[in-house]
Amino acid sequence: MKSIISSLSKTAFRLAMVGFLASLGSAVSHANDERGKQLYANCVACHQADGSGLKLLNAPAIAGLSEKYVAAQIAKFKAGHRGGDPRDTSGLQMRPMASLLASEADIAAVSKYVASLEPKPIAATLEGGNAERGKALYATCQACHGADGAGNDLLNAPSLLNQHDWYHVAQLQKFKDGVRGSNPQDTTGAQMRPMAMMLTDEQAVKDVVAYIQTLSN
C-alpha cells in the first residue's frame, strides 16, 4: 500500500513539475514577445507600426519576413557588412537603428515580432516593366526564392512577396553596382551579386520586378 501511495505521489509530483515548466515556458515566451514589441517601437517611424514600410524614408516592407532573415540583416547592419558603403545612403540610415539592439536576445525578440506581423498587399508604382519578359528572367531567381517568390531560409533567400517594387529595383541596382553584397564578410549577399549582374540593363530590372509583383496577387 505504501509503495502505491509513494508511486502516486511521484506521479503527481512529476505532473505538477510538467505543468509548472509549461507555464514557465509560456511566461518566458510572452515576455519575449512583449520585449520584441517594445523594441520595435524604434522601427515604427520608418517601417510603420504594421511593417508595411515607407517610401519617403526608403524603408521597405518587413512584415512577415522570416525571423532568420531579419536577424541576419540586423546583424549585418550592426557589423557594417551592410550599409557600410558610403554610396548606400538608405543603408546608412539603418545602421544606427540596428545598433540600438544591444544583445542577441534583443535581435531575436524583435525579429520574432517582425515575423509575426501580417504582410499586406502593396500597390504597384513601377512604370515601364514588362511582366511577361520578366517571367523568363525570373527563372534564374526561382532556384533560391522559389517559383512562388516565398523564399527559402535554407538558401538565405528572403520572401519577395508583398514588397514595394521601388525597393526591389533599388536593391537589385545596389547588388549590380557592388554597393551591397561586395563586403567580404557578407557571404550571403555575395550569393546575390552574380544573379543581379545577369540583369544587363535597367529595362531587365524593371521587367523582372514587374513579374515579381504579380506573385503577390
Q: What percent of the chain has pLDDT over 90?
A: 84
CATH number at residue 198: 1.10.760.10
**Is 76 contained in some domain?**
yes
Within a domain: 29 = no
pLDDT band at 141 (very low <50, low <70, confident <90, very high): very high
Would you state the pLDDT for residue 25? Answer: 47
| Mean of per-residue pLDDT scores for the chain | 91
Cell 520584441 locates to 36
- The answer to whether residue 4 is domain-embedded is no
Model pLDDT, residue 33: 83
Compute the Cα dihedral for 149, 153, 157, 160 and give only its sign.
Answer: positive
Cβ-Cβ contacts under 8 Å for 131 (sequence gap 6 or more): 207, 210, 211, 213, 214
pLDDT at 3 exceeding the cut of 70: no
* Mean pLDDT (whole number) for 89-94: 94
What is the average pLDDT across 200-204?
A: 97
CA max distance for the chain: 85
* Ranges 11-20, 157-166, 167-176: which has the least confidence: 11-20
Does residue 156 surpass a pLDDT of 60?
yes
CA atoms of 136 and 138, how far apart (whole Å): 5
pLDDT at 145 over 70: yes
For 5, the grid coordinates are: 501511495
| Confidence category of residue 26, pLDDT binned at 50, 70, 90 | very low
Check whether 10 has a pLDDT greater than 90: no
Number of domains in the chain: 1
Q: Is the pLDDT of residue 40 over 50?
A: yes
Residue 118 has a pLDDT of 97
DSSP annotation of 59: B
Separation between Cα atoms, residue 70 and residue 108, nearest integer Å = 9
pLDDT band at 217; cut points 50, 70, 90: confident
For 131, the domain range is 43-214
pTM (predicted TM-score):
0.84
Element (H, E) at 97: helix 89-99
Does residue 148 form part of some domain?
yes
Kindly report which listed range (16-30, 56-70, 111-125, 203-217) carries the lowest average pLDDT score: 16-30
Task: Please give the pLDDT value at position 7.
Answer: 63
Provide the pLDDT for residue 27.
47
**pLDDT value at position 17?**
63
Does residue 6 fall inside a structural domain? no
Q: 63 lies in a domain?
A: yes
pLDDT at 95 over 70: yes
Rounded Cα distance, 124 and 78, in Å: 31
- The three cell numbers of residue 18 are 510538467
**Averaged over 2-27, what is the pLDDT?**
59
**Which residue, among 72, 99, 65, has the nearest Cα to 187 in the 3D structure?**
72
**CA triplet 167, 137, 180: central angle to 5 degrees?**
40
- Rounded CA separation 209/202 (Å): 11
